Amino acid sequence: MTYTPPICFTTRPTLQGTFGMTASTHWLATASAQAVLERGGNAFDAVVAGAFVLHVVEPHLNGPGGDMTGIFVTAAEPSKPVVLMGQGPAPAAATREHYLAEGLELVPGAGALAAAVPAAVDAWLILLRDHGTWELGDVLAFAIDYARNGHPILGRVAATIATVANLFTDHWPTSAALWMPEGTPPREGDIIWNEAYALVLDSLVSAATDGATRTERINAARLEWRTGLVAQAAADFVQTPHRHSSGLDHAGVMTIEDFAGFEAGYEAATTFQFRGYTIAKTGPWGQGPALLQTLAILAGFTDEFLDPSTAIGAHTILEAQKLAIADREAYYGDVEVPMDYLLSPEYAAERRTLIEETASLEFRPGTVPGFTPFTPPLRVAYTSPALAAGSGFAGVGEPTVSRSGETRGDTCHIDVVDSVGNMISATPSGGWLQSSPTIPKLGFCLGSRLQMTWLEDGAPSTLRPGKRPRTTLTPTLILKDGKPVVALGSPGGDQQDQWQLLYILRTVIGGYTPQQAIDAPSLHTTSIPGSFFPRTWEPGGAVVEDRLGDDVLVDLEKRGHIITRAGDWALGRLSCVAKNHKTGVISAAANPRGAQGYAAGR
C-alpha cells in the first residue's frame, strides 16, 4: 500500500523566499513581525513584536497575564535547540489545603484561584535582551499602536465576549467595562481600544530608558513588570472575592512577592530521533514529550500504519497517542520524570504491543521501575451543586468557553525564521479575557493555568506552591543533520501535539509540502483525561474531519472508535516556517481554518 498522496489543490501556496518568513494565528501579528524583519531586525526582534501584538488582537486566546513556551536555535549555534521557559509557578499561598477548604474538588477553570504567576512578558523580554538587537520601545511600538489607536475586532473575539456577557454583567463588572463599554458585546469589525494596556506598555518603555547598555535597559523593564504597577495592581485586585467557574465567589492568593520572585529562563530541549530528523520539545513540565513518546511507539511500524488518511493509519495513530498521553497523566509534571526510560526503544516496543485491531476504551499508563503511576479521576461528566452557573459549554469556535468563563483550552502561535538562520517556534497563551475579571489599571486579567493541576495528593501535577502546572503549550522545532529545518506549532489545548504529529508524519514520510500537510484532513483522540476544567474524558472518543471520507470513518467505527464528525474544515490550527539548507530557500505556511492565520515573507 502506498502512502496517500496530497491533493493538488491547497488553500494557499507554501510561501518561498530567501529573506525571512513569519507565520502566526493572526495576520496583524504576522505583518508586524515581518515588518521588523524588513527594517533590519532579526527573528527574535520580530517574534517579540508579533507576540505583544497577539496580546492585543487575540485577547480571547492569550494575554500578558498568561504564559508561553518557545523553542529556538540561533544562527551561531544551529544544532542546539533551546527552550524559552515562560511558564510561571503556583503562588506561595496556592496550597491544595487552601483550595479544599474553599469547598473545591477541582482547581477552577476561571477566576483568580486558577492563576499561575504571569510569565509570558518576562520570557519575551529575556529573549529580546539576549538574542534580539532592537530597543524595547521599537519592538513594542506595534502593540502600543493597536492598543491605543484601535484595531478591528475579530468575529471570534466578539463571539467569545457575547458568550460570557451575562457573566461580565452580573459578576465581572470590570470586564464588562472594558469589553462591553456600550453595554452590549462588540460586533465583528468594530474598532476596539485598550488604553490601560497601552499605558502598561508605556511604563515598560519608560523603564527601559534607564541604563547604560541595552541589557541594563531591558532588565529595568523586567524589574518594572515584576515589582511595579502590574504586580501591585494585580495583587490588590485579587483580594476581592469574585465569581469562579466553581459557581462560588473566592479571593485570589497572588501577591507582589509572587511576581517579584519569578524569572523566566532557558532550558535544554527534550529530543527524539525519528526517520533521520531530530524532534525537539519542552521538558515534561509540559506535554511536549508525549509527542516524542508517540513517535517512539510509531517508529516500529511500517509506512502503511503511519498514514493518517487511511483507516489502519488513523487507528494506529490514535491508539499510540492514547498510550503516550496516559503516560503524560501518570508521570509528567514539575517533578522528577524518567524521560530516558519513557523514550527508550525497549519501553516503546513494550507499549507498541498493546495496539490491537480494535480501539481501547481503557486508561493504560505503562510501568516504570521505581515510579508509581498516577491515575487521575476518570470522569465522563462532572456535575456538582456548586456549579450554579451550569457546566454546559457554548461553542464559539476557538476556544470553547462556557457561560461561567472556563475554557477547554486554546491559544495562539507564531513562528519566525530570518536570513541568517535564527529560527523560533513559540506558543503564547493564558490570560484570556474570559479567564478572570479584568484588572482595571492594567487592561488585562490573570491566567488560569493552575486548572491543569490536581487537588488529589500524590499526582506528579498536584497543586504545589512554587511548582509549575503541567502546561499544554508545546511548540516544536525539527532539525536534520544538525541544522533547523522546521519551526512548527498550533493552538488546541490537548490537541496541539496530536495535530502536529500528523504534520510530521505527512511531511517526513509522505513528502507533503508544508501547506499540503496543514490543509490535509485532521483528527485527534478525546479518549484521554482533559487538561482543562472540568477534566473529563471520552473513552474511545475520536474527533475527525469529514474529509477523511466515509470509508475511513466507517472502518474506524467498526474498530470501536466512537467518532465525532467535526465537519470538513474544523480541526488543526498549525503554522510553520522552514528552511532548506541545501538551496537556502526558506518557506512558510499557515492554517486556513477559521480564516485568521496567515504567513508572510519573501
Write out 240-272 in H/E/C secondary structure. Answer: CCEECCCCCEECCCCCHHHHHCCCCEEEECEEE
pLDDT of residue 265: 98
Residue of 389, 425, 317 lying closest to 533 (CA atoms):
389
pLDDT of residue 383: 66
Question: Could you tell me the three cell numbers for 127?
Answer: 529573549
Beta carbons of 191 and 152 less than 8 angstroms apart = yes
Beta carbons of 496 and 590 less than 8 angstroms apart = no
Q: Alpha-carbon torsion 567, 573, 577, 578, what sign?
A: negative
Number of helices (H) and strands (E) in the chain: give both, helices first.
Answer: 19, 23
pLDDT of residue 594: 83
pLDDT of residue 263: 97
| 494-553 pLDDT tens trace | 999 999 999 999 999 999 999 999 999 999 999 999 998 888 899 999 999 999 999 999
| 198-234 pLDDT tens trace | 999 999 999 999 899 999 999 999 999 999 999 999 9
pLDDT of residue 210: 85
Give the predicted TM-score (pTM) of the model.
0.95
Q: What are the residues facing 277 on neighbouring strands? A: 274
pLDDT of residue 400: 57
pLDDT of residue 407: 53
Where are the alpha helices (H) located in 332-439, listed in sequence order?
Answer: 339-342, 345-352
Question: Could you tell me the three cell numbers for 514?
Answer: 508544508
Q: What distance in Å separates the CA atoms of residue 164 and residue 171, rounded to the nearest whole number?
A: 10
Going by their DSSP bridges, the two strands 562-565 and 541-544 should be labelled as parallel
Where are the alpha helices (H) located in 274-310, listed in sequence order?
Answer: 288-298
Q: What distance in Å separates the CA atoms of residue 133 and residue 112, rounded to the nearest whole number?
A: 36
pLDDT of residue 408: 54
| Mean pLDDT per 10-residue section of the chain, whose length is 602 residues | 90 97 97 98 98 96 96 98 98 98 94 97 98 98 98 93 93 97 96 97 96 97 97 97 93 98 98 98 98 98 97 98 98 97 98 98 97 93 54 42 54 96 96 94 97 94 97 97 97 92 98 98 95 90 96 98 94 94 97 92 98
| 55-110 pLDDT tens trace | 999 999 999 999 999 999 999 999 999 999 999 999 999 999 999 999 999 999 99
pLDDT of residue 396: 40
